[in-house]
Structure 1
């Protein structure tokens, strides 16, 4: 669904009228297109530690224009602030205010990225305070940036360098147009595992991937994005969606499997199909899901049980089959679609929010099981995304939902797909058990 308002106020007379009336002026976001430049200008890497030096050198090796010191009035594509050696809250002031002096030089759709360490791994209270301060600083800054610029953070677990494959992969993702609707969020690099792709435009080349709920909407967008990135696809949806599923499968040159994922044998049938066609399975995207909204006072067994069964119980059963199979080996990837409703809650969605909260709990608990075989599992939590479902929301409610984030607009299904494609890649091999929100920094929830 198109956001006509955003198009109207982005240029010409509509832009002038919106400015004079003080109306929201969402920017047209820089979204990824194959072959485009990673950023729109020079990258300023700030920080005095060895990790800052190493990161700057790595970016230079990508033939990027890297600065170590600001040049007044030079338009910047990105600022990367490395804060990996904070010892006390007072240590924040100098680097943060130094970066602040360059904020007005950021180009439209620029990126601001922090690189720091998790507060939970700090050795003492002052260090924990300083590290947690980065969280509050970054999320607040994200709400101040304009013109489609975003701010996100990377947390390096102890002993993980900023030049590890997944740290660099996260930098690449946050710098690129693939992260257009990701704002005010953090990715934690838990290990130095992972591998950067030989071709950043085809990071999933040679991978076999399954996408459930693939017939339309976000699922179809995921299929198209994984195909664009080089994956061979098996697309799954219920028999009633068979015609739509076949069309998407033909478009991405994949195979279609008509299957209700809530069946007890769904996991085994998915595995059998992938192995018979392609000899193995590398990636599983749990996207299938339903809503049956009702206030809890009016909730019944059917509405509650159907949502929980499809949205979370089916994923648990499929994962059990995957973990028991020798054909889901090597460096397997699982990515589940959660929701910001599972984080902040949503009126009339107690069943849906419980199921999506369950997805995030499952991801965290399953991470060690997949890590034992060299794999990962993560979740993506979309906010307001322009789909057929949101198009049916009453106009006034829909407009509030669109504007209630730092980017003042709804996301596109492709925004969710881009985050999933990154987490499914080898470049994200050091990210495990994480939840990445794709919500434009929705103003509800953390």
Structure 2
């Protein structure tokens, strides 16, 4: 559904009225197009003394084709255009006093950041800080800092915190590229941990990182699932699209459009695991990426909710994820180096009136991801989740106007997301280069004001 308010305020007269009345003015977001550079405009790279990531960051930025400027390039000096990104290595900050380095780097530059720019801070997971409580406190402070910066940025710019464990530096590239690029247009104020120390395979073609891979997407006949399927296909995967028989026409249309397979299956059926395993074994000999996107809602306040409404939501959204993943892992059909991506929700983080069943299922997915990731890591399999906020779909188009507008505006970007924003986050987790990232829940919500 079109955001008419955003279109209105993008025009001079509408922008003038919004400015005079103190109303939000959502900026147009630059979203990814194939062939687009990773970084938009020059990247200013700085860091605190003693940081361990500066050399790695420079090498990765140059490898991505970015124009890298030293920290000495002050705002308004050097390039004739504003910096597209400000990247800061904060791993050398080992005390609260040294947090001043963040201020000294960003203060003179942040207001000159180009529209749809990026602020990326790279730190150490506090639990991996070797310098005791003082360093752990300083590294934990980075999260509050980045979340606040994200809420201060304007013109579609976003902020990201990348926490890299010692020894995991070689697994940073995919995450850095995602944070800098237009693929992360609707992600801001989030922390991503890069903690895996096993070698990550080199990516030969960043435009098609999934070439030669087989991906499964549940709930693929429409909405976010259909866009996820298309995005994984764009990245080179052969996609098996799965949905219930009632959605057969839409399912076949999506599969035909991307040259994929179509599998009609009720994922809550007692034999669903066996049927899915049989199909994947017969047609593809296994699977590399599993995206658990299928989900249902049966909204009622708890006192009016029937047992069937409770069971339907928990069964599709949570139990089926557990049983199908276990079946694929136990059978060996989910190949080594595989990727599992679950679709949680902001409702699972913040809760929502009339959605006790839905919020429980989506919070349960977060618990599942965090618990399943360590066990799956032994086979090189990662388990992660995306948590969409307000995304423009047919479901949100049916929401009453006032609630819909609140959902759109109550985030740092002052607008709803698009299905492609969720799909880009899924594709990031699905990429072979993201093997050092697991057990993560990435909010795709424009830094919603609800929840953590």
Tell me which interval the TM-score lies in, with the shorter structure as reference length: over 0.9
Q: Which runs of 5+ in 2 are unaligned?
A: none
The within-5 A match list for 1:147-296 is: 147-161=155-169, 164=170, 166-192=171-197, 193-296=199-302
Does the 8 Å CA contact 2:267/2:316 hold for their aligned counterparts? yes
Moved more, 436-445 or 196-205: 196-205
Q: CA deviation at 1:78?
A: 0.3
- Give, in whole Å, the separation in 1 of the partners of 2:271 and 2:195: 33
**1:266-286 CA distances to partner (integer Å, 9 max, x unpaired)?**
223222222222222111000
Q: CA deviation at 1:223?
A: 0.6
Moved more, 12-21 or 31-40: 12-21
Q: CA deviation at 1:135?
A: 0.6
Does the 8 Å CA contact 2:40/2:181 hold for their aligned counterparts? no
Give 3-state SS (helix, strand or coil) of 2:360's partner. helix
Partner of 1:71: 74
Does the 8 Å CA contact 1:44/1:78 hold for their aligned counterparts? yes
Moved more, 296-305 or 207-216: 296-305
Give 3-state SS (helix, strand or coil) of 1:332's partner. strand
Q: CA deviation at 1:81?
A: 1.1
The within-5 A match list for 1:88-107 is: 88-107=95-114
Give 2:308's match in structure 1, choosing from 302, 306, 310: 302
Q: TM-score, normalised by structure 2?
A: 0.95
Q: TM-score, normalised by structure 1?
A: 0.97
Length, aligned pairs only: 443
Q: CA deviation at 1:235?
A: 0.5
Partner of 2:6: 6
Give 3-state SS (helix, strand or coil) of 1:114's partner. strand
- Give, in whole Å, the separation in 2 of the partners of 1:155 and 1:207: 28
Does the 8 Å CA contact 2:52/2:91 hold for their aligned counterparts? no
Give 3-state SS (helix, strand or coil) of 1:29's partner. coil
Would you identify which runs of 4 or more consecutive aligned residues in structure 1 move more than 3 Å? none
Partner of 2:332: 326
**1:304-343 CA distances to partner (integer Å, 9 max, x unpaired)?**
1111111000011001101111232221110000001111
**1:405-440 CA distances to partner (integer Å, 9 max, x unpaired)?**
000000000000000011011111000111000000
Partner of 2:342: 336
Q: CA deviation at 1:196?
A: 4.2
Does the 8 Å CA contact 2:52/2:92 hold for their aligned counterparts? no
- Give, in whole Å, the separation in 2 of the partners of 1:218 and 1:15: 31
Does the 8 Å CA contact 2:37/2:65 hold for their aligned counterparts? no
Q: CA deviation at 1:39?
A: 2.2
Moved more, 54-63 or 73-82: 54-63
User: What's the C-alpha RMSD, in Å, of the aligned pairs?
Assistant: 1.3
Partner of 1:53: 55
- Give, in whole Å, the separation in 2 of the partners of 1:238 and 1:232: 20
Q: CA deviation at 1:218?
A: 0.5
- Give, in whole Å, the separation in 2 of the partners of 1:368 and 1:2: 42
- Give, in whole Å, the separation in 1 of the partners of 2:102 and 2:364: 39
Q: Which runs of 5+ in 1 are unaligned?
A: none
Give 3-state SS (helix, strand or coil) of 1:331's partner. strand
**1:105-129 CA distances to partner (integer Å, 9 max, x unpaired)?**
2000000011001122334221221
Does the 8 Å CA contact 1:264/1:317 hold for their aligned counterparts? no
- Give, in whole Å, the separation in 2 of the partners of 1:120 and 1:96: 24
Partner of 1:27: 27
Does the 8 Å CA contact 2:200/2:435 hold for their aligned counterparts? yes
**1:356-400 CA distances to partner (integer Å, 9 max, x unpaired)?**
010011111111221111110100000000000000000011000
- Give, in whole Å, the separation in 2 of the partners of 1:268 and 1:291: 26
- Give, in whole Å, the separation in 2 of the partners of 1:291 and 1:408: 25
Q: CA deviation at 1:199?
A: 1.5
Does the 8 Å CA contact 1:238/1:259 hold for their aligned counterparts? yes
Partner of 2:419: 413
- Give, in whole Å, the separation in 2 of the partners of 1:80 and 1:72: 14
Q: CA deviation at 1:89?
A: 1.0
Partner of 2:93: 86
